[in-house]
Amino acid sequence: MFLKTQVIVNPESNKGKTRKRWNQIKEGLRSFLKEFNYEFTEKPLQATEISRVAIKEGTELIVGVGGDGTINEIANGFYENQRIINPETSLGIVPSGTGCDFTRSLNIPRGIKNALKVITQAPSSLIDIGRVKFENHKGEKDEKYFLNVSDFGIGGEVAKKVNENRMERKASSYLRCLISTFLKYKNKKLRIKIDDEELPIDDYMIGTISNGRIFGKGMKIAPKAQLDDGLFDVVLIRGMKTLEFFMNAWKIYTGSHLTHPKISLIRGKKIEAFDEGGDDDVLIEIDGEQLGKLPATFEIVPRNFLVKGYLS
């Protein structure tokens, strides 16, 4: 059955490689989808507007071509005034970014042909989505949705550095940015509340609010997280000294870090985080983009978003 389809392309994703191989991607789309409209993004947040307008015009399938940031922008366009515009519209993804961490939780392969098979053959699955209320860099209250992972602490600092390097066209990996950021990073004194449980104020390196399993270009931060269980996997890492950090950082890539005594996993529906230090801003990142700072409230919206993929 033909679905009215809108394809949204970030040509600058994957360091500009998406633009260079667009003709190949377009021909692949035509062989699987036959008819579709497509539009390139030219500025930040444009994907949100394209997505929102398309859904209001009756589009049944939105296909995002890009990385996690592009897919996040598109997903935010599914909502208006805290309500999903059309619960029957689904999202398909052609991974074309440097990380594409969210697609791994959906078992979407990187190759164009195999990714398109998922869009046309996989069921549309209802998954949870996260909503975060935070303070943006203008000091205003803001709100965004996220599909994969949001975090606060060093993750926000790393995302800021990665994005700055991208804007300056500097070549640097997420891991390299993490290491250089850690060497200058000061742990943050935070107050955290998960559902009805108030945790003791402590010094934290990072707190991740995980809907998906993987973030940071391949780190299995929440290896048992499920996209449709109605819960976040909250991974909290208290402050580590340099040697301790470097001896254990690799474990996050294998998902074997949760046994460390300074790392805790708590599942919950609502997480509130407050900066109790007051010296420096505690930055947050949302699906790889650094958009604001604490205080922040993260809430799960259960089984509210249709996506093409295979849930584990």
Question: Rounded to whole angstroms, how far apart are CA atoms 29 and 6?
Answer: 11
222 neighbors 213 (Cβ within 8 angstroms): yes
- Into how many domains does the chain fold? 2
Residues 113 and 165 in one domain: no
Do 139 and 91 have their domain in common? no
Which tokens belong to 7? 């394809």
For 248, phi and psi rounded to 5 degrees?
-120, -10
- Residue 162: its pLDDT value, please? 85
For residue 96 the two structure tokens come to 């074309």
CATH number at residue 285: 2.60.200.40
Instruction: Examine residue 105 and state whether it is found in any structural domain, yes or no.
Output: yes
Domain membership of residue 248 as a residue range: 130-303
**2, 35 in Cβ contact below 8 A?**
yes
Task: Please indicate, yes or no, whether residues 118 and 262 belong to a single structural domain of this protein.
Answer: no
Same domain, residue pair 183 and 295:
yes
DSSP string, 144-189: EEESSEEEEEHHHHHHHHHHHHHHTT----HHHHHHHHHTT---EE
| Helix, strand, or coil (residue 25) | helix
Asked if residue 139 and residue 104 are part of one domain, the reply reads: no
Question: For residue 40, what is the domain's CATH number?
Answer: 3.40.50.10330
Strand 149-153 to 90-95 pairing? unpaired
Which residues touch 191 (CB under 8 Å, ≥6 apart)?
198, 199, 201, 273, 274, 276
Phi and psi torsions of 282, nearest 5°: -100, 110
Domain membership of residue 183 (yes or no) is yes
Three-class secondary structure of residue 271 per DSSP: strand
Within-domain flag for 230: yes
**pLDDT number for residue 171:** 59
Do residues 113 and 186 both lie within one domain?
Answer: no
pLDDT digits (tens, 9 = 90+) for 282-298: 999 999 999 999 999 99
Query: Are 233 and 106 members of one domain?
Result: no
Mean pLDDT over all residues of the chain?
94
What's the rounded Cα separation, in Å, for the pair 169 and 172? 9
Report mean pLDDT in 10-residue bins for the chain, 312 residues: 89 92 93 93 96 98 96 98 97 92 93 91 95 95 98 95 76 81 94 96 97 95 98 97 94 96 98 90 95 97 97 84
